[in-house]
Amino acid sequence: MDAMKIVRAVLLGCTALVVPAPARAEPVSAFFLAYTGATGASAAAAAALYPTITAVGSFLGTNLLGNLLLNVGLAYLTRPRQKAQDTEAARINSRTEAASRKQLVGPVAVGGEGGIFGEFDEDGNFWYIVAHGDAEMAGDPSYILDDIPVTLSDATDGFTAGDVLTDDFCLNGDHNKYEGSGTRVPYFRLYTVSPSASAVYGTKPAAFTTAFPNLPADFYLAGVTYTIVRVRAVPLDHRHKVYRWRGVRGLGEPNVVLYADFNRVYDHREVGHDIDDDTTWTASGGNPANIWAWWRTNPFGRARPMSEIAWDKVAEAADVCDETVLDRSASPVPRYRCGVAIDDSSGRAEGEQEILKTMDAFVAYDDEGRAYPVPGKYVAPTLSFDGQRDIYTSATEIIDDGETAVDGVVVRYVSPLHGYTLQDCAPWQNPEYYDDGREPNYHFETIAGCQNHNQAFRLAGALGMRKAAAKKAALGSTCKGVLAKGRRAITLDLDADFTGVFEIASRVQEDENGLACGFAVVPLASDRWDGAGQSEGVPPQLVPALEIDSSLEIAANVTITQEAVETSNGTAYRIRAEFDAPARPDRFFRFRLTEVGETDFEYFSTDMDELVALSPLVAVGATYDVQWQTTTAGGRATEWAADVGGSETEYEITIIADNAPGDLTGVAATAGPGRVSFTGTAGEVASHVGVKVYRAAVGAGFGSASDISGTIGSAASAPFSVTVGDPAATDIMVGGDFASASGWTGTNWTISGGKATHAAVDGNGLYRSDVPVDAGEEYRWTFKVADRTGGSVYFRMNGDSNVFGTLLSANGSFGGTLTAPTGLTALGVFGNSSFDGSVDDLTLVKQTASSITVGPFDFWIVPVAFDGTEGTPDGPHTLVIP
């Protein structure tokens, strides 16, 4: 940038602070002496005469811009890192004299200190305690013993609540390992004790206090969640079958890992939460924005007062975290979730950074200095910087292919599928630099508070496009740069290469006078936090079973189908497997697939609660081999096969592009004033997203019908109820059913049997004067003509000027519209002298903008898929619309 232009901008920015004087060269000299870092007598003199100019020049010197460029992305979320693995390390059971304590919040798996208590009771049962952390357990727990997920009794199955029922921890009646037959004898029982909203320590189980009646009265473990393990007494010659694990006591007892949602947190969105009464708070559900606020205000966290939090902004951030995105099988997952175990030896700011990293967030402050997190989500910027007006100086860098040291990013996250251990997510590969012809150089970032592969991959993309951006700029701006604080992005117009939306990738720094600011930026695309141009890769593979056991039950009644799903890129397909529930709760069914002719398998996502498994997205036209196996928590498994009733070793399915939704069933159609309504049940095809209503003249056929509704949303396999037209319109006609002659007057008309009949003697009207109509308003009339052999009949309104409906000379249902005259005296029907029929079902409805056309029509209702494909029409339903 032109140097004199910079000086002129600085001088303009300082005019309010410099005493007016004749134009001289000294201010320019003062700026350049400071800007270039000059020292000596001249520089000192200039600084004394023009301190403000000198300060701005010094602040914008080359060291500032160079350092900003050098550190783009490095200080954004990736420091400090020395305690990044606290959460994963929390799984470990330890036995030390001075065990570190941990603050737990959100869903997290924790082991704990196992040296607190360990004793045999008088009956030979061994009891020991594992203290998990300083936290209240706020959600239902699950357990892992020596890396084996276990199932506990709930006391409804003939066992005692807390008994471990997983085969590996049970013997049979002969003191041999239980393997599915004979009497199951549980040898381990778990009791987890937690503080609560009303008590700083939990209630010890009666079985424990009975077994040890001489425990000290103050044996409370206040503020701590801990698990008491009871190991059933076993004869000495069978002891090795029970005590065969790797517990920290070295007796053969198992290590204990507890997974639960810890601590209640304040959620500003919940009307039942009182900010001043933490007994009204509930579990976080893993929402990182609310977890951040809890840590910021918790006495064992940042210990800031609640008044220093911008709670409305936190609620907005929490909503962002709760948004759903689609994973690689097109299943919805929350945008961001978090669960952390923060060691008390860690810095409190380091714990905060671990939480922020799970949502790629930074801390901002509102106008009152209150803090809130800004999670990673693209929002179009509202702040712009013009290179000619707002930028004093800049340093830019454009990296050519091959110059970068980072080809992509791998985030290490805690994987529930791998026993809550750190795993590498699929590499996010930088589209600017990655070359599959050479060994990639990945940057590895640990985000142990993340427990979802899709989230980890998206975080990798966000970090990668910041850390290894193709373009970087350090900007020295006017005091306008202060407005960039707390913002994620700006619109920049610097030059041909640096124009568009840019992310602020560093802290916004101010000079001491507030006249200049400096910050770094990198390009920002709208998909930054949705994969940054890349699709989620293959998650880390599951550990194969080491012990094949053909006696395990196989999945029963397996059905394999394809289903269409809607993604941001349009229609996509996945394979869906459904199956019966296993006979044993500790059995798990795994599914995998590979394209026929290939050998690399990918795994389904299995939900044993819903009895369904979903594959990653698959290609149309490809044929896939689908296999499944049964596994146990202890590592036993069947061979991979595809047994659907005949010991098949493979099951092949070819993906066909068919988006048509299923047929509607149980459809009923009804006419109402100015509207038509349909009820029924949508088909079971997942592509169904709604219905459309079509209309045509009676007998014209569906080919002549037109859409009168657009797509009205409804769910697949679910009942629907839709209305097209004015749902509030009403029939104001009095006595139109002709159930009584009361109020009707007219010669040669008789009312009987629910209809009015005219004798062909003379032209006569059948009227009444008690119908409430408004002059000048348009009204819709309908009635039915029957028994006619001759003559005509029509609807009529009498007033200052009489108005007439369509002359009707046939039997059937008819309708039309009339504008009510002033001075209305009566309305009804008029039959000419030769009309010898009857009328019935006379209606009168005030016309509204949303009313559908009056009269008889054929209607159809049609199912619609997410891509607009329409299914089989249901109809025609012939109705008269009042």
pLDDT per residue as tens digits for the range 620-630: 888 999 999 88
- 237 phi, psi to nearest 5 deg: -75, -5
Q: Which residues contact 403 (CB under 8 A, 6 or more apart)?
A: none
Vertex 837 angle, CA 834 and 843, to 5°: 120
DSSP state, residue 53: H
Mean pLDDT along residues 819-841: 93
Q: Which two tokens stand for residue 73?
A: 């992305």
Burial category of 187 from C-beta neighbours within 10 Å (exposed 0-12, middle 13-18, buried 19 and up):
buried
Residue 821, CA distances (Å) to 8, 707, 779, 826 in order? 77, 34, 11, 10
Distance between CA 515 and CA 504 in Å, rounded?
A: 19
Give yes or no for a contact between 524 and 487, defined as CB atoms under 8 angstroms apart: no
Q: Is the pLDDT of residue 41 over 50?
A: no
Look at residue 8 in the predicted model and tell me its pLDDT.
Answer: 45
Q: Is the pLDDT of residue 77 over 70?
A: no
Give yes or no for a contact between 722 and 862, defined as CB atoms under 8 angstroms apart: no
Q: Is the pLDDT of residue 16 over 70?
A: no
For residue 87, how far is the Cα from the chain centroid? 24
Mean pLDDT along residues 412-419: 91
Look at residue 73 in the predicted model and tell me its pLDDT.
Answer: 54
Residue 291, CA distances (Å) to 198, 297, 527, 609 in order? 21, 10, 25, 28
Look at residue 285 in the predicted model and tell me its pLDDT.
Answer: 95
Look at residue 88 in the predicted model and tell me its pLDDT.
Answer: 65
Burial 49-60 (b: 16+ CB within 10 A, else e): ebebbbbbbbbb
Give yes or no for a contact between 458 and 325, defined as CB atoms under 8 angstroms apart: yes
DSSP of 321-366, one letter per residue?
A: HH-EEE-TTS-EEES----EEEETTS-HHHHHHHHHHTTT-EEEE-
DSSP of 513-532, one letter per residue?
A: TSSEEEEEEEE--TTTTTTT
Please report which confidence band the pLDDT of residue 507 belongs to, taking 50, 70 and 90 as the band edges. Answer: confident
Mean pLDDT along residues 50-75: 52
Please report which confidence band the pLDDT of residue 395 belongs to, taking 50, 70 and 90 as the band edges. Answer: confident
Q: What percent of the chain has pLDDT over 70?
A: 87
Please report which confidence band the pLDDT of residue 711 belongs to, taking 50, 70 and 90 as the band edges. Answer: very high
| Least confident range of 239-248, 638-647, 739-748, 822-831 | 638-647
Residues 141-181: tens digit of each pLDDT: 999 999 889 999 999 989 999 999 998 999 999 999 898 78
Please report which confidence band the pLDDT of residue 398 belongs to, taking 50, 70 and 90 as the band edges. Answer: confident
Residues 738-792: tens digit of each pLDDT: 999 999 999 999 999 999 999 988 888 999 999 999 999 999 999 999 999 999 9
Please report which confidence band the pLDDT of residue 638 belongs to, taking 50, 70 and 90 as the band edges. Answer: confident
Residue 802, CA distances (Å) to 390, 796, 798, 807 in order? 74, 7, 4, 15
Residue 807, CA distances (Å) to 619, 779, 831, 842 in order? 62, 17, 10, 15
Mean pLDDT along residues 812-835: 93
Mean per-residue pLDDT over the chain, rounded: 85
Q: Which residues contact 235 (CB under 8 A, 6 or more apart)?
A: 175
Please report which confidence band the pLDDT of residue 86 belongs to, taking 50, 70 and 90 as the band edges. Answer: low
Q: Which of 102 and 691 is assigned the larger pLDDT?
A: 691
Distance between CA 690 and CA 688 in Å, rounded?
A: 6
Look at residue 402 in the predicted model and tell me its pLDDT.
Answer: 52
Q: Is the pLDDT of residue 11 over 50?
A: no
Tell me: cis bond preceding 873? Omega within 30 of 0 counts.
no
Burial category of 235 from C-beta neighbours within 10 Å (exposed 0-12, middle 13-18, buried 19 and up):
exposed
DSSP state, residue 435: -
Vertex 587 angle, CA 581 and 588, to 5°: 85
Q: Which of 134, 298, 139 is nearest to 223 (CA)?
A: 134
Q: Which of 754, 827, 833 is nearest to 793 (CA)?
A: 833
Q: Is the pLDDT of residue 369 over 70?
A: yes
Please report which confidence band the pLDDT of residue 71 belongs to, taking 50, 70 and 90 as the band edges. Answer: low
Mean pLDDT along residues 451-469: 93
| Least confident range of 521-535, 675-689, 726-740 | 675-689
- What phi-psi label fits residue 73: left (phi over 0), alpha (psi between -120 and 50 degrees) or beta? left
Q: Which residues pair with 492 in a beta bridge?
A: 385, 500
Please report which confidence band the pLDDT of residue 84 belongs to, taking 50, 70 and 90 as the band edges. Answer: very low
Look at residue 14 in the predicted model and tell me its pLDDT.
Answer: 43
Please report which confidence band the pLDDT of residue 1 belongs to, taking 50, 70 and 90 as the band edges. Answer: very low
Q: Which two tokens stand for residue 420?
A: 């809550």
Q: Which of 642 and 299 is assigned the larger pLDDT?
A: 299
Residue 828, CA distances (Å) to 631, 764, 797, 813, 839 in order? 79, 11, 7, 16, 11
Q: Kindly tell me the sign of the dihedral angle through the C-alpha atoms of 694, 695, 699, 703.
A: negative
Q: Which of 405 and 27 is assigned the larger pLDDT?
A: 405
